Amino acid sequence: MKVFFSGSIRGGRELLSVYQYLCTFIVSEGHEVLSEHVVDPQLEDIESSMTEQEIFTRDMDLLGHSACLIAEVTIPSIGVGYEVCSAVQRNMPVLCLYRSGSHVSSMILGNRNVVLQGYSIREELDSIVLGFLASLQVKYRDNS
């Protein structure tokens, strides 16, 4: 399955290791992460040579080719919020992950069109992500 992964870039990179873990895990389970650039530690340098329009176009094109979106929403990010909203508007399945105890936006918490899951330790992410992706595979199989 093609997955769009979303995590904070300009809002802060404190959870980069979690983003990297998630993308590596998703790929290890046989899925493709179309937005793997998000986990590149040099991304801010790379994007500094791109126009804002190029970044927008790249991300929206990748989102359009994805079956679902998985977002880590612990760090507030306008870009992540925009991508979540865009995916919801496209009727795309969305999983939003956040560290338990963090202050997640009410716009995410109150949105019934996203699956929202808190986690305390990194290892919990495995079962959350596997469950989400498995539910989509069942849904797609049943609809075909």
Sorted by where each begins, the domain ranges of the chain are: 2-143
Each residue's pLDDT tens digit, 22-67: 999 999 999 999 999 999 888 877 888 899 999 999 999 999 999 9
What is the reported pLDDT for 139? 65
Identify the residue whose tokens are 């919990």: 124
Which of 3.50.50.60, 3.40.50.450, 3.40.50.720, 3.30.70.260 is the CATH number of 2-143? 3.40.50.450
Tokens of 107: 């716009």
Query: Cα separation of 58 and 111, whole Å?
Result: 26
Q: Residue range 88-117: average pLDDT? A: 96
Give residue 41's pLDDT.
Answer: 84
- Taking the CB of residue 144, how many other CB atoms lie within 10 A of it? 5
If DSSP states are collapsed to H, E and C, what string results for the chain?
CEEEEECCCCCCCCCHHHHHHHHHHHHHCCCEECCHHHHCCCHHHHHCCCCHHHHHHHHHHHHHCCCEEEEECCCCCHHHHHHHHHHHHCCCCEEEEEECCCCCCHHHHCCCCCEEEEECCCCHHHHHHHHHHHHHHHHHHHHC
Angstrom distance (rounded) from CA 44 to CA 61: 20
pLDDT by residue (tens digit) across 7-21? 999 888 899 999 999
